[in-house]
Structure 1
């Protein structure tokens, strides 16, 4: 039989991206029948710096949106320089470029947001006017909805950079994805975790996306890294994102869970200042599949869009 050619993996160069890509590299190598020590030979990692990594002093919405974390990597896929890419699902725009596809979604890590502070245990414990650091419009809006007195300061950068800024006193507290902290071995740092029902995370948060060329969707190794329940939940959340045309200018959250035989979804969108919040909930039979899950998300997102109009858009 002919030997399987190496599966070249593209990933961003941040510490978190490399940790996530390394996890998947070992999984892919195992699916290709190679032992862990052969992972780099059969599934080499290729680091690609993205515009989103290079520009760290502005919000993503000011420089082109979340697609700036995927654009250069997707170009490498289309050019044939890599065979798959590992992304954080929450960084994936609603529409994937022609010729490419989200080919596999591995089992999800905890999707909740984490609250980190040197003193306060919870956001509710922060003093009046405290500085909360985040670059996420969703986290800003959700936080201001519950605590309109907070001073939300823009805080971009990788996890280490944000932790250093917290230590330096640039913010009294910060919010980060728990999944990233756990993958970096920092899951012990949060003081508390935000309730994902009360404050839904970003669509797809905690999940990874393995993107390939559309023609490679049936590659046998992909089946070994797919996780059906995660794909179902993410389909529902990204359906809502698609209906709301979510971007870095639209603060929305979505959280899907499978409870028994039911897939339950909560979706919310807020005005950027947090004053207005719009929510929808629904459920379907989990056995209905990913198309039905996406349909549920589209339905709930469309209801919010009809009700909220332009109230949930950050003015240009």
Structure 2
């Protein structure tokens, strides 16, 4: 059997496989004749579904086994959802390509098509993201948040099985799986600011693998990469992850970057938001400065209360 030119490591969920196959198709289109195969892997985050992510230790749970496959040579390329990628990468690996972003926002799925404002007092809403929980409770403190983990199909099934009034999912995942018709409402960023990197893919390879980096070059989308870099700079300065309720979203309009950031208490009673509008050349600086602004306004206290870092360097 002929060895493939490129092996893509990916999580084994339906959405992750869709994302990896999309990448493979884009590579074959850019490089006709390129032989690409997928290597599905089960990560720790996929195996442990009965514990909230905040208690498991953060984002690396969804990438660790895939990065190990890169480092030991079983895979040449990893395709991640950017919102799952920790701010620090293992030595020897690099994020070298960020393709064009899908819808970065969150979506409400209800059993009867009702929108958030139409849900009854005390409605049971499924999500395990502290970021979503905090923002939803800020606007609707009457809601009862039900922990909900698993892939997209599992969460949609639990909506029915647990008789939930609704669940919150990333709009990008529903769209990529052809399930956009299930969306009852696209949540505006003013109501629920997206997760850092949400809707974007991150293509990771060995930092010294110039062949793979050259193959990936046609898939890179500079505007998305700049926006995501600003969001991740915000994350790095706050030393955040799944354990704390924080969010950021950057968007480019010409040469200008607009970046919104948020830190909240887990119960949604306190919520700090800020915005920066700068030249795209200052994207990462804007992320750090926005984080500093929120820290000065009290974000450190909220992060500590949520189980995040204390004093930061």
TM-score (norm 2): 0.93
In 2, distance between residues paired with 1:121 and 1:258? 32
Q: How does 1:1-316 map to 2 (within 5 A)?
A: 6-34=5-33, 42-119=35-112, 121-216=114-209, 219-286=213-280, 288=281, 292-307=282-297, 308-313=299-304, 314-315=306-307
Q: Report the CA distance between 1:217 and its aligned residue.
A: 5.2
Q: How many aligned residue pairs are there? A: 303
Partner of 2:259, secondary structure, is: strand
Determine the C-alpha separation between the residues in 1 that align with 2:63 and 2:237.
21
The 1:124/1:242 distance shift into structure 2, 3 A limit, reads same
Question: Cα distance, 1:280 vs. partner?
Answer: 1.2
Distance 2:296 2:73 in 1: 42
Cα distance, 1:203 vs structure 2 = 0.6
**C-alpha displacement at 1:120, in angstroms?**
5.3
Local SS of the residue matching 2:219: coil
Once the 2 structures are TM-superposed, how far is the Cα of residue 76 of structure 1 from its aligned partner?
Answer: 0.9
Structure 2 runs not aligned, ≥5 long:
309-313
Deviation, 1:5, is 6.5
Q: Give how far 1:8 is off.
A: 0.8
2: distance between equivalents of 1:274 and 1:249?
15
Q: Give unpaired runs (5+ residues) of structure 1.
A: none
Aligned equivalents of 2:102 and 2:13: distance in 1? 19
Distance 1:153 1:298 in 2: 33
Larger mean CA deviation between 243-252 and 17-26 belongs to 243-252
Report if aligned partners of 2:246, 2:261 keep a CA contact under 8 Å in 1: yes
Task: Show CA shifts across 1:223-254 (max 9, x none).
Answer: 11100110011111111111111111111111
Q: The residue matched to 1:224 in structure 2 has which SS?
A: helix
Alignment partners' CA distance in 1, 2:307 and 2:82: 26
CA contact (8 A) 2:136 2:191 kept: no
| TM-score, structure 1 as length reference | 0.92
